[in-house]
Amino acid sequence: MSLLSVRNVHKHFGGLHALRGVSLDLEEGETVAIIGPNGAGKTTLFNLISCEDSPDEGEIVLDGRRIDSLPPHLAAARGLARTFQNGRVFGNLTVLENVLLGAHTRLHGLTDPGSRPLGALFLSLREIACCLIQPRRFRKLEAELAEEAKEILSMFGERLLPRLHQPAYSLSYANRRRTELARALALRPKVLLLDEPTAGMNPTETEEMTEVILQLQRRGQTMLIIEHKLELVMAVAHRVVALDAGAVLVSGHPEQVRSDPKLIEAYVGKTRADLAKENAALALTAEA
C-alpha cells in the first residue's frame, strides 16, 4: 500500500473547478515531482494534502488513515511537513528557535492537540505545569532536540550554523528557505512536501539545494515536490506528475513525461504544424 494516496479529489473555488479528479500515489522512500503551468492546480493540490484546505470530493489517505478534513495542526501530528512557496519563517524567532518549532509535535505527550474538551483542558494544565516545573526529562528532551536541530542545520554546511541565534528576518532569502526546510525536517515527517524549494535561488544555490534533496532521498525520505526548474526535477524525481487545468495530464518516468507532446502543448501551446492541421480539418467540416 502507498504511504500517501490522493484519490479522485475535486476542488471548486466559486465557479472555478480548480481540481478535477486528481489521483496520485506516493510510495515509501519515493520522490515525486508535480509540474505544470501556472494555474494548473499544483498549489491547490498541495494545500489539500497539507490540510490547509479540504477537498470537495475524494479522499486523501496517509499511512492507511484518512487525513482530508483534518485541521492542519493534526495533519502535522500525523507526520506531514511542508515548506511554503514564499519561505514563511518566523521572522522574530532565531534560526534555532525556528527549527525547534518544527519539532513541536514531537514533544511527547505534551502537546497532544486532538483531544475532546475535558481531555484538552487536562492536557493544557499539564503542559503549563510542565513548563513551570521543567522536570529533568523535559529539559533533557529540549536539549536533545537542540542538538538534533544543529545536526539538521549542518546539512547546509556553514550557511546557517554561525547564525543560530540570529533572528530569521535578518537572513538572506536563500537562507530563509534553508531554515524553512530545516524546520520541516525537525518534524521527522513521513512525507515531506516541498513547494518550489528553489524558487528565487541563483544557479549555485539551486545546485546546493539539489544536493540536499538528493541526500535526503538517500536517507529514505519520502518527498513530494512542486518545482518549475526541470533540471532539478530530472535530477531528483523518481516519478513526475504533470497537471494541467486541474487534471493529471501525464505521469510517469521523468524522461518519458518530459518528451510527452501533451505536456509541451500545455506549456507552450500548439506547434505551428498542429495548428495548420487543425485549421485544415476545420475548413473541411465547414465545407461539408
Tell me which residues touch another protein (CB under 8 A).
50, 52, 71-74, 76-77, 81-82, 84, 88-93, 97, 100-102, 104-105, 107, 110-111, 113, 120, 124, 127-128, 130-132, 134, 142, 167, 169, 183, 187
**Shortest approach of another protein to residue 181 CB, angstroms?**
13
Kindly give, in sequence order, each residue whose CB lies less than 8 Å from that of residue 248, ignoring residues fewer than 6 positions away: 22, 23, 24, 241, 242
Strand order in the sheet with 31-35: 80-82, 191-195, 222-226, 31-35, 239-244, 247-252
Q: Which is nearer to another protein, 120 or 282 (CB)?
A: 120
Amino acid making up residue 2: S
Q: Which is nearer to another protein, 108 or 277 (CB)?
A: 108
**Shortest approach of another protein to residue 263 CB, angstroms?**
30
Kindly give, in sequence order, each residue whose CB lies less than 8 Å from that of residue 218, ignoring residues fewer than 6 positions away: none
Distance CA 138, CA 141 (A): 5
**Shortest approach of another protein to residue 58 CB, angstroms?**
21
Distance CA 143, CA 149 (A): 10
Closest CA to 185 of 84, 81, 29: 81
Q: Which is nearer to another protein, 108 or 262 (CB)?
A: 108
C-alpha separations of 33 from 139, 140, 143 in Å:
39, 38, 35
**Shortest approach of another protein to residue 24 CB, angstroms?**
20
Q: Which is nearer to another protein, 71 or 252 (CB)?
A: 71
* Residue showing cell 490522493: 6
Q: Which is nearer to another protein, 132 or 273 (CB)?
A: 132
Distance CA 214, CA 206 (A): 12
Contact at 8 Å (CB) between 49 and 255?
no
Distance CA 17, CA 14 (A): 8
Closest CA to 5 of 44, 63, 79: 63
Q: Which is nearer to another protein, 125 or 282 (CB)?
A: 125
**Shortest approach of another protein to residue 63 CB, angstroms?**
16
**Shortest approach of another protein to residue 98 CB, angstroms?**
8
Q: Which is nearer to another protein, 165 or 218 (CB)?
A: 165
**Shortest approach of another protein to residue 103 CB, angstroms?**
9
